[in-house]
Amino acid sequence: MDALSSNADNNNQEKSEQNIKQQLSVLKGIIESIKSPVFSVDKEFKYTSFNKEHAIIMKLLYNAKIELNNNMLDYMTVGKDHEKAKLNLSKALKGENIIEEAFSGEELLSRLYFEVTHNPIYDHDNKIIGVAVMAKDITIRKKAEVKLQTSEKCYRRLFESAKDGILILDTLTGKIVDVNPFIKKMLGYSHEELIDKELWEIGAFKNISASKEAFIELQSKEYIRFENMPLETKEGKLINVEFISNVYLVDDKKVIQCNIRDITERIIANEQLLIAKVKAEESDRLKTAFLHNVSHEIRTPLNAIVGFSGFLNNPDLSAEKRKNFTDIILQSSDQLLSIIDDIIRIASIESGQEIIQENEININLICNLLKEQFLPQSINKNITFNLKTILPDDEAIIITDSTKIIQILTNLIVNALKFTQQGYITFGYMVKDSHLEFYVEDSGIGIPLNMQDEIFKRFRQVETTDTRNFGGSGLGLSISKAYVEMLGGKMRLTSELNKGSVFYFTIPYKKVNLKKLPDIPNIKGLHFEFKKPKTLLIAEDEDSNFMLLQELLSDMGISIIRAVNGIEAVELCKSNPQINLVLMDIKMPEMDGYEATMQIKEFKPDLYIIAQTAYSTEADKNKAFACGCSDFMSKPLKRDLLLSKINEQLLK
């Protein structure tokens, strides 16, 4: 029995060992089949098992060829890896189950990410005898997560820095789940006031019913757009926005993104652009009308001048008709000259060449001369023409630009005569504080209210059609207003249609001490008697202009010498000491009048030289005086003015 029992025990032991070997073989096969690193260590950190994947990793990371019963930590040559492995294994030997993410391979071209599990190994007495470790390779998943996080960071950065307002809504409820800073700034609400609110709750979208309908449409179509939607900010300011909303799929969940762009400035810019376009078109229309008008205004007197000049050659023309035709030619010449003067003045103003030339003037004297000048025209039209001056002569002497004052008053009086068919015209001035306020009042046709600002603009007239009843270039008021402002004043008007107009303008009242002004000779019927013979040099290259001057001075008893260019003028002045006065044309061949004047003044500093030129700007006049001229006249020359200036120079 004993032998039999012993054999049975031996057989059982062999079977048990075989079973254990078989189980170990199966277990080893299972471990080897796992595609992740798996190993186990005893309480002294010695390998009790490992699979090929773990051996490969250890070779890759530490260039280690591991073996059973060797201490795992001895293979780990990287200090931080050694310490971390020791810590985790020690915790597991104390009964902790540890699952953590780890990475390794910083020195490699790419990192390896693992989810590492440490589990204690128990014997049949439930005592811990080692640690089983499985490292699951999660590199692919981890890199995808890193990529996703990077993408989310980029999106967040764009979301936060976007210059459009962005709202993220829940697709089902329509509640706001996220907002960017720009929308908070745009609407004036805080983050807390927007989050978890429905769009129609925050107050910006006032039409609740329309907003809910739009939300239902968005849920259905997954896209909605409004080109111009009015929104109200928290402070109650209305802004115009472009509203675009789309439905997106994020992590298998639908969300709504609303992009809101403030287009208020764009709308204002478009409106301003439209206004500018209308103004440009209106300006172009006015300039076209102005050119048509100027063409008509120039050709009309020119037609009369050319036409009636041809009749004067008829030897059979009666004396009466000759006089009438001559009067028409002179009147048309004045009209043509006035138009040309206006065009030159407005060009000079717009180019910035006009300057103020202040001098002492008597405004009473100027007003009386203007009354005398325009009285005949008013009598011809049966219009009462009045002048009202309130200052005594000794207080009417002021410092200002007399040329511009006369031009302003002339333009206003001419306009009043043009547009007044009956009644009266009154002009004068009043003292208001430190200013003089001039006025020209008429009982004419008046100006509609909508045109009272327009008529002061360039190229602008009340009448702009081909059926105009009144002539003129339409520049007179623009010139006058510009001159007034240059003098430091303002221009205004009051008018009522069919009842008349009053034009006012102010200038500073710069009063001077009492000073007797020289008497201005009456230019009507000038006659000179010189005690000694006078010799006049006319420097003029144009034959027709010389013949005109010769004819104008034919009855004055003055000897006339001619020079056809500047060089000849200089030589004649050197060789003829008896020359008393020079009429110097500015534009001449070989040497111009400016240079000729300077050379003559070098050897005859006291010789009187009057510049006579087609140039008429203040700059031309100043240049002539700077070169040594005693006086200045613009062509075409007026006989009375020419004789007055010659008389003034020769009688000095």
Three-class DSSP labels, 310-342: HHCCCCCCCHHHHHHHHHHHHHHHHHHHHHHHH
Strand ranges in 304-414 using DSSP code E only, listed in sequence order: 359-362, 383-388, 397-400
CATH code where residue 246 lies: 3.30.450.20
Are 402 and 504 within one domain?
yes
Q: Is residue 53 part of a domain?
A: no
CB 379 within 8 A of CB 405: no
Which of 348, 367, 384 terminates a domain? The answer is 348
Coil, strand or helix: which one is 461? coil
Q: Is residue 154 part of a domain?
A: no
Which of 194, 227, 262 terminates a domain? The answer is 262
Are 366 and 485 within one domain?
yes
Strand ranges in 401-487 using DSSP code E only, listed in sequence order: 423-432, 435-442
Q: Is residue 524 part of a domain?
A: no
CB 530 within 8 A of CB 575: no
Q: Is residue 83 part of a domain?
A: no
Q: Is residue 190 part of a domain?
A: yes
Are 548 and 622 within one domain?
yes
Are 547 and 430 within one domain?
no
Which tokens belong to 466?
A: 């081909």
Are 331 and 375 within one domain?
no
Number of domains in the chain: 5
Q: Is residue 360 part of a domain?
A: yes
Measured in residues, the chain has a length of: 652
Parent domain of 197? 162-262
Are 338 and 480 within one domain?
no
pLDDT of residue 597: 95
Are 473 and 557 within one domain?
no
Which of 299, 324, 348 terminates a domain? The answer is 348
pTM as predicted: 0.45
CB under 8 A, 24+ apart: contacts of 647-650: 647/521, 647/526, 647/528, 649/581, 649/608, 649/610, 650/528, 650/530, 650/534, 650/580, 650/581, 650/608
- Other C-beta atoms closer than 10 Å to the C-beta of 168 total 17
pLDDT of residue 68: 92
Are 256 and 280 within one domain?
no
Strand order in the sheet with 38-42: 47-50, 38-42, 128-137, 112-122, 98-104
Cis peptide before 636 (omega within 30 of 0): yes
Are 388 and 448 within one domain?
yes
CB 445 within 8 A of CB 497: yes
- Other C-beta atoms closer than 10 Å to the C-beta of 390 total 12
β-partners of residue 262 are 241
Helix (H) or strand (E) holding 246: strand 238-250
CB 229 within 8 A of CB 240: yes
Counting beta carbons within 10 angstroms of the beta carbon of residue 281, is it exposed (0 to 12), middle (13 to 18) or buried (19 or more)?
exposed
Which tokens belong to 454?
A: 């327009």
Are 402 and 335 within one domain?
no
For residue 580, give every residue at least 6 positions away whose Cβ sits within 8 Å of its Cβ, in sequence order, or none: 534, 535, 536, 607, 608, 650
Q: Is residue 401 part of a domain?
A: yes
Which tokens belong to 130?
A: 């080692």
Which tokens belong to 310?
A: 């041809």
pLDDT of residue 17: 67
Q: Is residue 3 part of a domain?
A: yes
Are 456 and 575 within one domain?
no
Largest CA distance in the chain: 188
Average pLDDT, consecutive stretches of 10 residues, N- to C-terminus, the chain (652 residues): 60 69 71 83 93 88 91 89 90 88 56 83 91 84 74 71 81 83 86 82 64 74 81 83 81 80 85 86 71 70 83 86 86 78 77 82 91 90 94 90 90 92 94 94 90 75 44 74 93 91 95 54 47 85 86 84 94 93 91 94 93 76 90 81 82 64
Are 257 and 275 within one domain?
no
Pairing type for strands 631-634 and 491-496 reads unpaired
pLDDT of residue 165: 84
